[in-house]
Structure 1
Amino acid sequence: MSKTLVQPVGQKRLTNVAVVRLKKHGVRFEIACYKNKVLSWRSHVEKDLDEVLQSHTVYTNVSKGVLAKSKDLIKTFGTDDQTKICLEILEKGELQVAGKERESQLSSQFRDIATIVMQKTVNPETKHPYTISMIERLMHEIHFAVDPHSSSKKQALEVIRELQKQFPIKRSPMRIKLTVPEQNLSALKEKLNAWNADIVSKDESGSQQSVICELEPGSFRDCDVLVRNLQGKLEILAVSVNAEGDTQVDNYDDFNEFALHRDRGDKEIDDPVADLSERIQNQAISTEKGNASGEAKQSKCTTCKAIVGDAKELREHCESDWHKHNLRRKTRQLPPLTAEDCLADMEMKESKSDLNDYSF
């Protein structure tokens, strides 16, 4: 007697997919998408729906391959057109990711936020930016938690406001050029003084008067409105201005020494970042004195356009990431970067690479 082999039907198990889930009228609906494509679709980078959806099918449980019933689709969406329903779920649904993948996304976004904070802030004493690792430590100090549903730029501005309450950090100024008629120049200068803007240069020749100044970003909109009212024009020269120089902030980018002092009771440090800023400033002053006294012994790197020390230090410099990064820029006919700018550039590329790895 022959036996009939019973095969399960109506199930299509899908694994290694990105699931988008939408709960509507008490019923859960899911669609199966390709990884790294959902966010690309939502940001309008990806235009081809077939590149996003694994199938134009609506499920109640993707992992088990349970299809949604037609009567439930009609009752909930008013249609049983699977493609139209998939589009609605894709736009409004919640992306489901695994625990490790979610952790990686949050870690990547945390780094992205720290990078933005680093680019937009400076130490008010030295006028130099903090390093990316220091910004991350400060963010941990204020117990910052990433919101995956909010943009990195918006969260970075919130982080800056919180950091300013506890640490010596300020927004790096913008450099702008303001041009107004001669009769309105005095009114413009009065407002710039009220905004504590630093005037870099002035050109008072002719009927149109020009002023180049550095202004706090928070006053930019008011300045723009003022210049328009004064029948002038505003030109942005730089969105972020830092002090020039090669102060090695990296050498002081660790709080372990401060923790050691506290544990041993050698010295009470109420504000480690403020003490850190003082040390950076002192180190910069001592470096300038050293250069003045031993100028004849200093070697210059023509690639980085910087004084790096004696012959031994020059050899070590040529093995550094700073020098190698500027060599790559030189082959592309790009100008060299300072140590801080080079670090920021490399960190930004690393951050973008992380985002590409974990973006959909």
Structure 2
Amino acid sequence: MSRTLVQPVGQKRLTNVAVVRLRKHGHRFEIACFPNKVLSWRSHVEKDLDEVLQSHTVYSNVSKGVLANSKDLLKAFGTEDHTKICLEILDKGELQVSGKEREVQLSAQFHEIATIVMDKTINPDTRRPYTITMIERLMHEVHFAVDPNLTSKEQALRVIKKLIEHFPIKRAPLRVRFTAPNSKFASLTENLDEWNANVISKDEFGSITSVVCEIEPSILRSCEEKLKGVQGRVEVLSVSAHAEGGSSVDQDDAQESQSVPAVETDPVARISEVMQKQSISSEMENLDQGQGKHQRRCKECDVLVEDKLYREHCKSGWHKHNYTRHKNGLPPLSQEECLVEMELADSKRDLKDYDF
């Protein structure tokens, strides 16, 4: 009985790696890195090179385990030291990511941009911020696409300008404190009228007068320059001044629609109405499709789910949120209540002060 000879393979094949590629002098050079470590190295968060590289080896093809030729390395980099070459490829090379990883990164950056836009804008009628769901829907309406080569702050500025052109939305004013000597307060008052500042309070401390007011963020730099001439200074109290009261625009719109019949609907109201109709129609379709099919009860969410969709339900954010509440002894939430609670948690995140 014959047996098949198993020849040893002289290649070291690497899987589940992040490949950084660099083309130089007509040759391709690659290094194998751990996933999600290259960006940490480039942002100077990760300092240990061994935590980034899977091996201090330069390849011409990582997926096939083909090592780079020593003559090609010497010609392209002037050295055969693989560690030095790996450092250069890490800094200058192009990171190769899979489609799913790229989709996750773009989705996370899209949500980050929407969060910045939500924090820096208000509804001009109610002077309250829009919800994160509404901001994301408006960004889709203007066909916004994330550019991975730009920062989230830069893209948020561009999105705000586009949204102002198409929807009833504007930048949230800055709440600042102007301080100047009493002898120069008259000139400060003239500047306040010129800046269209909304004065909130005025206090006098001996020979110094301070005024708390709200101004447009775009004129902050010019305010600082003009106050230097009157021996004054500017102190930013809040980078986004919102009206006190309710938490979202959607609640205000719902209350107004109940009390007063709408004569003319604005684009934002139409979008919110479409979102509600879509959610109701999807629920009705699920109920129609669920009749006559085997279902399982999810004890964490207290709902019936079709057998084919049960695994997807367990992977959803709704189930995970209710699972955490179940472990803490709390009752389950509906899908709408869970969405609202998650939005409130997102809106309460501490954002860094962005200087627009």
For each residue in 1:264-315, what CA deviation from the matched residue of structure 2 results, as whole angstroms up to 9, or x when unmatched?
A: xxx99774226789xxxxxxxxxxxxxxxxxxxxxxxxxxxxxxxxxxxxxx
How big is the alpha-carbon RMSD for the aligned residues of Structure 1 and Structure 2?
3.2
Q: 1:186 offset after TM fit, Å?
A: 2.2
Q: 1:206 offset after TM fit, Å?
A: 2.3
| Greater shift in the superposed pair: 179-188 or 143-152 | 179-188
For each residue in 1:116-143, what CA deviation from the matched residue of structure 2 results, as whole angstroms up to 9, or x when unmatched?
A: 1001100011000000010001000110
Q: 1:85 offset after TM fit, Å?
A: 1.3
Q: Is contact 2:172–2:241 with CA below 8 Å preserved after alignment?
A: yes
Specify the code of the residue in structure 1 equivalent to 2:197.
Answer: A
Q: 1:106 offset after TM fit, Å?
A: 0.8
* Partner Cα distance (2:15, 2:98) in 1: 12
The 1:244–1:114 alpha-carbon spacing in structure 2 relative to 1, beyond 3 Å, is same
Name the residue aligned to 1:273.
268
Specify the code of the residue in structure 2 equivalent to 1:50.
Answer: D
Q: Is contact 1:168–1:274 with CA below 8 Å preserved after alignment?
A: no
* Partner Cα distance (2:42, 2:347) in 1: 24
Name the residue aligned to 1:151.
151
Name the residue aligned to 1:72.
72
Name the residue aligned to 1:107.
107
Q: Is contact 2:175–2:236 with CA below 8 Å preserved after alignment?
A: yes
Name the residue aligned to 1:358.
none
Q: Is contact 2:41–2:52 with CA below 8 Å preserved after alignment?
A: yes
Name the residue aligned to 2:36.
36
Q: 1:193 offset after TM fit, Å?
A: 2.0
The 1:170–1:156 alpha-carbon spacing in structure 2 relative to 1, beyond 3 Å, is same
Q: Is contact 2:163–2:169 with CA below 8 Å preserved after alignment?
A: yes
Q: Is contact 2:73–2:80 with CA below 8 Å preserved after alignment?
A: yes
Specify the code of the residue in structure 2 equivalent to 1:108.
Answer: A
Name the residue aligned to 1:161.
161
Map 1:8-47; keep pairs closer than 5 Å. 8-9=9-10, 11-47=11-47
Map 1:1-360; keep pairs closer than 5 Å. 6-9=7-10, 11-246=11-246, 248-251=248-251, 271-273=266-268, 346-348=345-347
* Partner Cα distance (1:125, 1:224) in 2: 29
The 1:183–1:124 alpha-carbon spacing in structure 2 relative to 1, beyond 3 Å, is same
Q: Is contact 1:134–1:253 with CA below 8 Å preserved after alignment?
A: no
Q: 1:153 offset after TM fit, Å?
A: 1.2
Q: 1:148 offset after TM fit, Å?
A: 0.9
* Partner Cα distance (1:201, 1:74) in 2: 71
* Partner Cα distance (1:342, 1:177) in 2: 34
For each residue in 1:175-208, what CA deviation from the matched residue of structure 2 results, as whole angstroms up to 9, or x when unmatched?
A: 1111112222222222222222211111234221
* Partner Cα distance (1:48, 1:177) in 2: 45
Name the residue aligned to 2:288.
none
* Partner Cα distance (1:43, 1:145) in 2: 24
Q: Is contact 2:227–2:233 with CA below 8 Å preserved after alignment?
A: yes
Q: Is contact 1:108–1:351 with CA below 8 Å preserved after alignment?
A: no
Specify the code of the residue in structure 1 equivalent to 2:54.
Answer: Q
Specify the code of the residue in structure 2 equivalent to 1:203.
Answer: D
The 1:35–1:249 alpha-carbon spacing in structure 2 relative to 1, beyond 3 Å, is same
* Partner Cα distance (1:176, 1:342) in 2: 32
The 1:61–1:252 alpha-carbon spacing in structure 2 relative to 1, beyond 3 Å, is farther
Q: 1:240 offset after TM fit, Å?
A: 1.1
* Partner Cα distance (1:178, 1:54) in 2: 56
Q: 1:113 offset after TM fit, Å?
A: 0.6
The 1:58–1:249 alpha-carbon spacing in structure 2 relative to 1, beyond 3 Å, is same
Q: Is contact 2:20–2:33 with CA below 8 Å preserved after alignment?
A: yes
For each residue in 1:21-40, what CA deviation from the matched residue of structure 2 results, as whole angstroms up to 9, or x when unmatched?
A: 11222222111111111111
Q: Is contact 2:128–2:248 with CA below 8 Å preserved after alignment?
A: no
Q: 1:345 offset after TM fit, Å?
A: 5.2
> Equivalent residue of 2:226, what SS?
helix
Percent identity reads 61
Specify the code of the residue in structure 2 equivalent to 1:51.
Answer: E
* Larger RCO (CA under 8 A, 6+ residues apart): 1
* Partner Cα distance (1:186, 1:349) in 2: 40
Q: TM-score, normalised by structure 2?
A: 0.71
* Partner Cα distance (1:351, 1:140) in 2: 25
> Equivalent residue of 1:46, what SS?
coil
Q: Is contact 2:131–2:248 with CA below 8 Å preserved after alignment?
A: no
Q: How many equivalent pairs are there?
A: 279
* Partner Cα distance (1:199, 1:349) in 2: 27
* Partner Cα distance (1:351, 1:176) in 2: 20
Question: Structure 1: any 5+ residue segments left out of the alignment?
Answer: 255-266, 278-320, 329-340, 353-360
> Equivalent residue of 1:165, what SS?
helix
* Partner Cα distance (1:18, 1:89) in 2: 13
* Partner Cα distance (1:219, 1:242) in 2: 19
Q: 1:161 offset after TM fit, Å?
A: 0.9
Q: Is contact 1:167–1:274 with CA below 8 Å preserved after alignment?
A: no
* Partner Cα distance (1:233, 1:162) in 2: 33
